[in-house]
């Protein structure tokens, strides 16, 4: 055989091997999906598609839900406004209510976080993508007298270029993930995703200015904190892990403490009242990419729970669906034995009751 042909075949096999081992494998293409859930569930429809993030106030049972129809707005920019919905899980029959302030017009919410001050005041922080997803701000609201009152929009055009999720650590301070190193769609961002490049980061806003506090993350997605505010958890979607940081509370600086390998595309992170992490996941990332452009292509939905014991972190799969009935799960929020599962694109929420 011609020497050039042999060299070509070796290079071709190397490329194929790389694609299979480094791209298709980590993206979950060969993962077996066996649906399961120990409990009962019902589907709760929402008027606006895309209940991407949910956070629950464990004191009151109020669930705050971020919704935005990303497909509709991609096809016809600005055609539909997003919203913040609320549901009281303490009610015998929970009902959804739109609490978006009327004065907010260019509103496309993404990640959300609720903060309670020691005096009981509550503030909701919302990632908002304005001007056809080209301008990004954190909207700060006060939750008062059963209403959301808009206080301010916080922005940094240099550092907060691709915000995804936020976790508030004070009445006016927060951490926010920047899910891409490349701020705009293009070849660079595509390669960043498919090659799992760890070039995204986390910003900290101290009430005055932004600064990078954690770098080297492959698609920094969901973010949350421990109950004592000493740890920050960051979901690395294409890295398929949860990164645990020790937080220096006075300065806001973060130090990487541990990486929890979960072998799935982690999205938003919520905590229960025992400190366990509940995460909505995309077990087959390439199917989720296909689902994002075509609703007829299903993407499996998954919920995992991470607890910590004396030996370390324990990962448990709570919910798995092949996507035929619910696709693209992005969040799992728990209140007592009630579990809410949201999605990036679905026009519904799954309302679950755990059997244990």
Catalytic residue IDs: 110
Closest CA to 214 of 170, 179, 190: 179
Strands (E), 49-134: 51-57, 62-67, 83-88, 96-98, 109-116, 122-129
Distance, CA of 172 to CA of 205 (rounded, Å): 8
Whole-number Cα distances in Å, 113 to 66, 175, 176, 197, 210: 10, 10, 10, 27, 18
CB of 352 closer than 8 Å to CB of 325? no
SS3 state of residue 194: helix
> CA 157, 282, 134 angle in degrees (round to 5)?
20
* Concatenated DSSP letters of 248-283: -TTT--EEEEEEEE-SSEEEEEEE-TTS-EEEEEES
Residue 235 CB: number of other CB atoms within 10 A? 30
Distance, CA of 91 to CA of 95 (rounded, Å): 8
Looking at the DSSP assignment, which residues form a beta bridge with residue 24?
Answer: none
Output b/e per residue, 266-290; b: 16+ Cβ within 10 A.
Answer: bbbbbbbeeebbbbbbbbbbbbbee
CB of 176 closer than 8 Å to CB of 205? yes
> CA 107, 329, 61 angle in degrees (round to 5)?
70
């Amino acid at each position: 055989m011609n020497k050039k042909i042999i060299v070509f075949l070796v290079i071709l096999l190397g490329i194929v091997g790389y694609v299979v081992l480094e791209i298709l494998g980590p993206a979950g293409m060969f993962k077996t999906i066996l649906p399961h859930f120990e409990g009962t569930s019902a589907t709760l429809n929402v008027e606006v598609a895309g209940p991407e993030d949910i956070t629950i106030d464990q004191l009151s049972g109020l669930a705050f839900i971020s919704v935005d129809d990303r497909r509709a707005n991609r096809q016809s920019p600005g055609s539909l406004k997003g919203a913040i919905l609320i549901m009281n899980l303490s009610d015998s029959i929970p009902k959804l209510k739109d609490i978006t302030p009327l004065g907010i017009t260019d509103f496309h919410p993404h990640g959300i976080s609720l903060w309670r001050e020691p005096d009981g005041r509550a503030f909701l922080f919302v990632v908002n993508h304005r001007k056809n997803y080209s301008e990004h701000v954190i909207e700060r609201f006060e939750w008062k007298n059963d209403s959301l009152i808009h206080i301010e929009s916080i922005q940094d055009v240099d550092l907060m270029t691709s915000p995804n999720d936020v976790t508030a650590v004070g009445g006016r301070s927060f951490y926010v993930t920047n899910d891409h190193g490349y701020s705009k769609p293009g070849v660079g961002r595509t390669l960043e995703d498919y090659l799992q490049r760890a070039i995204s980061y986390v910003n900290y806003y101290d009430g005055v200015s932004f600064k990078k506090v954690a770098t080297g993350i492959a698609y920094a997605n969901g973010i949350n904190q421990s109950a004592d505010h000493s740890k920050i958890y960051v979901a690395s979607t294409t890295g398929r892990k949860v990164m645990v940081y020790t937080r220096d509370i006075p300065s806001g600086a973060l130090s990487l403490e541990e990486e929890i390998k979960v072998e799935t595309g982690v999205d938003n992170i919520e905590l229960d009242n025992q400190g366990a992490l509940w995460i909505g996941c995309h077990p087959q990332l390439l199917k989720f990419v296909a689902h994002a452009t075509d609703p007829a292509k299903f993407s499996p939905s998954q919920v995992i729970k991470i607890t910590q014991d004396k030996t370390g972190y324990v990962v448990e799969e709570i919910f798995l669906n092949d996507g035929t009935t619910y696709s693209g799960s992005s969040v799992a929020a728990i209140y007592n034995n009630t579990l809410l599962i949201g999605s990036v694109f679905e026009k519904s929420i799954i309302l679950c009751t755990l059997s244990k």
